[in-house]
Structure 1
């Protein structure tokens, strides 16, 4: 617990967290506005796209989406924060002091994972409180009520918190694996923003060759697993998607910790 408190102090006493908040607030407001534009008449409707029937989300799913507004950019910020927890140490040469005071390097990485997960949950909680406060007013105007008595809505909100914690853990794992702050940050941006686009294009080609069953591959990629965690997939249960995300964090953390234990941090 002393190590976890130390890692939380490193986050609290540096500029990173409030810089992310200053950038995130206007982006969150844009996400709220985008969710607000959803038309109640479109809930549950079906359309034909390239010969495939697409069913629009139901009212509870759309409401849950409103209460989780800001998820897209929020997940990236906690992902990046997890990356910086380790790479900042190397960038500013504080890793040497950290490991001199605590020579158990595995314990240090575990503390960073715990601190990142906690910050991810706190970020989710703060955003959820604001989303519910704003959403209850907006939804009562256009959607006939806040719908907070619907268990589907609360399930979406709760599972969104799981996604925030797991992406933070994944970020720490990536930061431990790639010591360079610039390299790890660029890798995080590529995984989060470019990865889904590349995967979607590759999956489109694969479906043409292997058939519709190939679409399940997307659920095993980070952002596809996130969508499945929060209820956006019919082919993978949320608990399996959570394990997939946790697996990304575990694998990168274990590989990175193995390298850290064997190499000179300086």
Structure 2
């Protein structure tokens, strides 16, 4: 496994697109935090702090695509054949990708959280408000957002293994978030809370969510997201072992 992880790290060091995706994560958090402060007439209190750092979880859209690149990107560039020839046991290959990309997803969440905290503290200072660094709700939201990023990176790996077309996998992922969970989810009422993106929102939600108040409790969202992550991991390994490369 150590050799496989080292090989994956080498691949990541030689391409730029995954790093550009991860670099977009803190930019999204800064933009979201700034937008919240500028557009809100509410006082900058601990509740607003939690809402500001909740944008860390929304960066999971980028870590999801980052994970898709792990497998679908190899099919696009036709390097997957060499990967499987060097390591015929496909299960460990997918397992190494799942582990490494989940770790990088979590690290992207940590960096986004640090940048977001800096941006929020700067806005609070500029508005003459006191920033409560010890607020437990804010740190709970940050922890949930980091876990959400890690889970979506692993789910992305699984999705890339199931839909080997890079464009197709990304299109399906974004369409699911925007259409199925964003629009169709409204038609099925409370059942939408059990869908992956909504479960992630519950895990990384602020103490008082701004956009989607009807969410599972944080522990419930985390549990549902773990189930989805494991499901996609099992499907990715099983599918990769049965399918032909070409």
- TM-score band, normalised by the shorter chain? 0.7 to 0.9
Residue 237 (structure 2) pairs with residue 263 (structure 1): no
The question of whether the paired residues in 1 share the 8 Å contact of 2:57 and 2:204 is answered with no
1:104 equivalent among 86, 89, 97: 89
1:218 equivalent among 192, 195, 200: 192
Q: CA RMSD in A?
A: 2.3
The question of whether the paired residues in 2 share the 8 Å contact of 1:170 and 1:246 is answered with no
Instruction: Report the more deviating stretch, 225-234 or 20-29.
Output: 20-29
Which residue in 1 is equivalent to 2:101?
A: 116
Which residue in 2 is equivalent to 1:240?
A: 220
TM-superposed CA distance for 1:143, in Å, is: 6.9
Which residue in 2 is equivalent to 1:189?
A: 174
1:50-78 CA-partner distances (Å, limit 9, x unpaired): xxxxxxxxx43320221343542x21110
TM-score between both structures, scaled by the size of structure 1: 0.80
The question of whether the paired residues in 1 share the 8 Å contact of 2:65 and 2:156 is answered with yes
What are the within-5 Å matches in structure 2 for residues 161-176 of structure 1? 161-176=146-161
1:60 equivalent among 46, 50, 66: 46
TM-score between both structures, scaled by the size of structure 2: 0.86
Structure showing greater radius of gyration is 1
Which residue in 1 is equivalent to 2:234?
A: 254
Instruction: Report the more deviating stretch, 253-262 or 181-190.
Output: 253-262
SS for the counterpart of 1:33 is: helix
Higher relative contact order (CA 8 A, sep 6+): 2
SS for the counterpart of 1:9 is: helix
Residue 21 (structure 2) pairs with residue 4 (structure 1): no
TM-superposed CA distance for 1:184, in Å, is: 0.8
TM-superposed CA distance for 1:229, in Å, is: 0.6
SS for the counterpart of 2:55 is: coil
TM-superposed CA distance for 1:169, in Å, is: 0.9
SS for the counterpart of 2:88 is: coil
What residue ranges of structure 2 are gaps of 5+ in the alignment? Answer: none
SS for the counterpart of 1:148 is: coil
Instruction: Report the more deviating stretch, 93-102 or 16-25.
Output: 16-25
TM-superposed CA distance for 1:24, in Å, is: 5.3
Count of matched residue pairs: 238
SS for the counterpart of 1:146 is: coil
TM-superposed CA distance for 1:166, in Å, is: 0.6
Given the superposition, is the C-alpha separation of residues 130 and 22 from structure 1 closer, same or farther in structure 2, using an over 3 Å criterion? Answer: closer
What residue ranges of structure 1 are gaps of 5+ in the alignment? Answer: 44-58, 204-213
